Amino acid sequence: MFGFLSKLFSSNHAADENEDNQLWLMVKEDEFFRDDAHLKMVDDLTELIEGSGLGELDGHSSGAYQFEINFYDVSNFEKVKAIVVKYMASNFDNLVFSVSKEYETFYEKA
């Protein structure tokens, strides 16, 4: 019984630690929902980050004029942030975006 409880609490603790190793990309959008360019952005960034072993894609969403991509198990936030910023500057230099360790509603509007 105690072994089960120990595993239960240790797995919850591990999940809490994992939340600290996230990277969020929030992109301001003129359209309410995402398009093919957003999906390409997700695919490209996933290939760059997962391919380097620096994190894993958690997901993406859009709406209210903001598009988000989230990675977890990010081993080096500053390194992954630099990859994201370089990619965005090279491919989407006209978009306003923010990179954060947590979800933010910088650009959402009703």
Residues, the chain:
110
Say what the pTM is. Answer: 0.78
Alpha-carbon span 45 to 52, nearest angstrom: 11
The fold for domain 22-100 equals Alpha-Beta Plaits (3.30.70)
Q: Render pLDDT for 69-79 as a digit per residue (tens, 0 to 9).
A: 999 999 999 99
- Is residue 23 exposed (0-12), middle (13-18) or buried (19+ Cβ within 10 Å)? buried
Tokens representing 28 are 């301001």
Alpha-carbon span 83 to 86, nearest angstrom: 5
The set of residues, in sequence order, having a beta carbon less than 8 Å from that of 85 and lying 6+ positions away, is 99
User: Would you say the C-alpha torsion 80, 85, 91, 94 has a positive or negative sign?
Assistant: positive
Q: Render pLDDT for 51-71 as a digit per residue (tens, 0 to 9).
A: 999 999 999 998 788 899 999
How large a percentage of the chain has pLDDT more than 90?
55
Domain boundaries, the chain: 22-100
Residue 82 has pLDDT above 80, yes or no: yes
Closest CA to 48 of 96, 85, 95, 4: 85
Closest CA to 108 of 71, 46, 72, 61: 61
